[in-house]
Each structure stands twice: as C-alpha cells, then as structure tokens.
Amino acid sequence: MKKAFTIVELLVAMGLFGMLLAASGVIFATAVNAHRTAEATAEIAQNLAAITDQLNTDFKGLRKEGEIFVVWVAAPVLDDRGVPIDDDGDGNPDRYERFDRLLFFADGDFQSYRQWFVDTPSGPLSTVLTGNLARICYMLARDADGIPPQQQEPASRILARTQHILTSETIVDPCGVSLPFPDLATFDASVFAVDNFIYEYDNTTTLQGWKTIDPCNKVDMLSTIGGVNVTTAEISNGGTPVSPSEPATIHMLLCQGVGQFSVQGWYEDPLQQRWVPEIDPDDDGILDDSDFFTVGTPPQIDPCSVPLLVYPYGPYASPSIIYDWSKIDESYFNEIPGLGRALKFTFTLYDSRGVFPEGKTFTHIVYLDD
C-alpha cells in the first residue's frame, strides 16, 4: 500500500508555507523600507553638509565694514488646496514658514562657474574669473516660470546662492564689446533685474565702490536682489530665479529640496537675550508680540509688509539712503538687532524620493566674533 499525505497534513503544510511567505514578505518590505530610509537620510545629510560647509566658508571671510542686507519673510503654511492651515478653526493661519533673504560681502578664493571673455591686448580671451572679494546672497529661489517659493511645493524649492566676484577685469563679449556690470553710467533697473542673475561678477572693483553707488540706484538694486520693495517694505516680483534645466541660472543652485530658510541674529540685550526675529517670541499662539509686521484682530502676520535691515544704515523705509560712516565698525555691528554676535540658520530639507514627507528641520549657528 502506498503512503500519501492526508488532507489535514496538506492543509497544515500549506498553512506553514503561507506563514513563511508572509513572514518573508514582511522581512523583505522592512529591508526595502530600511534601505530607502537609509538612502533618504544619507541624501539629506549630504545636502545638510553642503549648505553648512558653504555658510561656514562664506562667513569666515565676512566683511563687517561692508554692506549687509537682510529681508525677513514669514508666510502661512498652505494645505493641498493652497489654503492657509487653520488648526483651531478660528479663520486665521496657525502655521508659518520662513523665506528669508541675506546679502553680504566676504573675502575668499572665488572663481566663476563658467568662462567669461576678458579684454587683452591680443583680443578677447575666454577664462574663468577669479577674485578675493565677492557679493554673496542666499535665498529660496523663484522657479523657471517666475513662481515665488511661497507658492511652490516645499520639496521642490531651491536654495540659491548668488556670487558676484568684484573684479577689475574688462569683461567683453566674443566680439570684444564691453559688458560692464552693473553699468552705473547708464543704469537701468529692468536690465539689472535680468543681468544680476546671469553675470557672476561686479565691475565696481572695490567694496568702497559698491557702497558709494548712487542711492536711487542702490534702492533699485537691493529691491531686485531681495525681492522686496525697499522703500515700502512690500514683497515684489524680484529675487533669484533658478531652474535646474536652465544653464544661465544653474550656477546659483546650491541645493534642491529646501522647504524653508530663515536667518536670525542674536539680540544682545540685558532685558532679553534671544534670537530675532521670531514669529511668536513667547510661543503662546498670539502674535501681539511678534517681531514681524502684523494686521487684524487677533493679529496675524502682514503678508504685504516685511521687516528688513540694511547695515550700516539700520532699518529704514525711505528712498533717501545716507551712510553714517561713524557706525561702520565692529563694535556697532555687534549691537544691531538682527545681526549681533552670531547668526542662526534654520532650514527644512526634503529627500528626492519623498521618504520623509514632512522633511527634516535643522539649525546651524555661525559665530561672527573673531
């Protein structure tokens, strides 16, 4: 008589096999998720290192007697429908994110990303520009369609770093025609708005040359660079435009997937030592103590007006810019609320695969004292 499996034995075997398959599937899924998480963590860590290393390098050469321009922007966090998130249902935004902008001058070993033609006795020569002083700016960028970062998906936002090397070289086109930038002799704000994000140099040659630019031109320049109307403190259509697919702007792409970017300075005051500006300093959910401009009752961040600072002028809202040369020194620098002895940068980083849908938020402190 031949031996065979009974139905019970077959059912038991099939059950055990099914359990084994299920367990194997769980283990495989766990391994895949762990691998994806590890890759996403490594990607974010790499981007974090790139940003912090660049900040450290740039601020190591900070010129404290140079011009510093800061714009602080806070905007409501939007849901999938583009509506501000209202957690408590009172009809007012409850969450905000930062889109700050920062310009300063620094010493270092700078070189352009692309080659430019310089005038030589034998004709135009294509070369990489180099220099020891540059005008540097950090901000979240507009995209290729001109959409501001506030209206972009957080994971697709780009942190831009613009660099303009101050050079005495005569920059020309391939035919030898001079390309001065900025062309202060025939300054045109609309031309500057385009050229500022294409060219990688300034022909002002010295920091003193930049600081003594005609005040009216300077207002237009800063408004274009910072994306805010300096005279009225209103958000404008300026700011850096960056598209990863556009060669003319790729030199400004520092990191993609930066959801927010904020700059705070240490407020050195006997009564309150804290980082400024803050949206809600006492964190009670009421913005009556906010460092930002507010409107309405209860107070909410004013979406049309933003605080800004220009050193060495200090905060102002007038088209007439007059330097107080006596205040351009390190002792005054350390007393300015918004700058102070250190800067704290806060940014939210996203991975390209969407493993961390809310991103990861980091802070990095740069000390400005020698």
Q: In the prediction, which pLDDT does 321 show?
A: 44
Which pLDDT band, with edges at 50, 70 and 90, does 154 fall under? Answer: very high
Q: In the prediction, which pLDDT does 207 show?
A: 85
pLDDT in tens, 269-280: 767 788 989 999
pTM of this prediction exceeds 0.75: yes
Average of per-residue pLDDT across 293-320: 73
Q: Does residue 11 lie in a domain region? A: no
- Report the sign of the C-alpha dihedral through residues 164, 169, 174, 175, in that order: positive
Domain tally, the chain: 1
Q: Does residue 254 lie in a domain region? A: yes
Q: Is residue 129 within 8 Å of residue 202, measured between CB atoms?
A: no
Q: Does residue 38 lie in a domain region? A: no
> Could you count the other beta carbons within 10 Å of the beta carbon of residue 7?
7
- Answer whether residue 287 shows pLDDT above 60: yes
Higher pLDDT, 223 or 341: 223
Q: Name the token pair of 44.
A: 């974010």
Average of per-residue pLDDT across 344-349: 96
What SS3 state is found at 172?
Answer: strand
Q: Does residue 21 lie in a domain region? A: no
Q: Which of 240, 208, 211 has the alpha carbon at shortest distance from 224?
A: 240
Q: Does residue 5 lie in a domain region? A: no
pLDDT in tens, 25-58: 777 677 767 778 889 999 999 999 999 999 999 9
pLDDT in tens, 125-142: 999 999 999 999 999 999
Q: Is residue 218 within 8 Å of residue 182, measured between CB atoms?
A: no
Q: In the prediction, which pLDDT does 283 show?
A: 85
CA within 13 Å, CB half, 246: 14
Which pLDDT band, with edges at 50, 70 and 90, does 231 fall under? Answer: confident
Q: Does residue 37 lie in a domain region? A: no
- Residues 74-98 as b or e (16 or more Cβ within 10 Å = b): bbbebeeeeebeeeeeeebbeebbb
Average of per-residue pLDDT across 206-230: 85
Q: In the prediction, which pLDDT does 201 show?
A: 94
Q: Does residue 27 lie in a domain region? A: no
Q: What is the mean pLDDT of the chain?
A: 85
Q: Could you tell me the residue range of the domain that residue 158 belongs to?
A: 43-367
Q: Tell me whether residue 26 is exposed, middle or buried, using C-beta atoms within 10 angstroms of its C-beta: 0 to 12, 13 to 18, 19 or more.
A: exposed
Q: Is residue 117 within 8 Å of residue 200, measured between CB atoms?
A: no
Q: Does residue 25 lie in a domain region? A: no
